[in-house]
Amino acid sequence: MHPIDECYKKEKNDFFKFINLQETKKNKFKKKIRCSNLI
């Protein structure tokens, strides 16, 4: 798996623990950017 995908998957899983699906969709793009900054 690509490192960005791995990061995003992990962050998304953590995110779901605290926030509902609608909020996750709203923040999806922001999280992807944050993940790509790790590479």
Structural contact between residues 35 and 11, judged by C-beta atoms closer than 8 angstroms: yes
Show the domain range for 29.
Answer: 3-36
Name the one residue in this structure whose structure tokens are 């609608």.
22
Tell me the pTM.
0.23
Amino acid at 39: I
Q: How many domains does the chain have?
A: 1
Q: Tens digit of pLDDT per residue, the chain (39 long)?
A: 566 567 667 666 666 555 555 565 666 655 555 555 554
Structural contact between residues 36 and 24, judged by C-beta atoms closer than 8 angstroms: no
N residues, the chain: 39
Name the one residue in this structure whose structure tokens are 């953590």.
14
| Interacting residues of 19 by C-beta distance below 8 A, sequence separation 6+ | 27
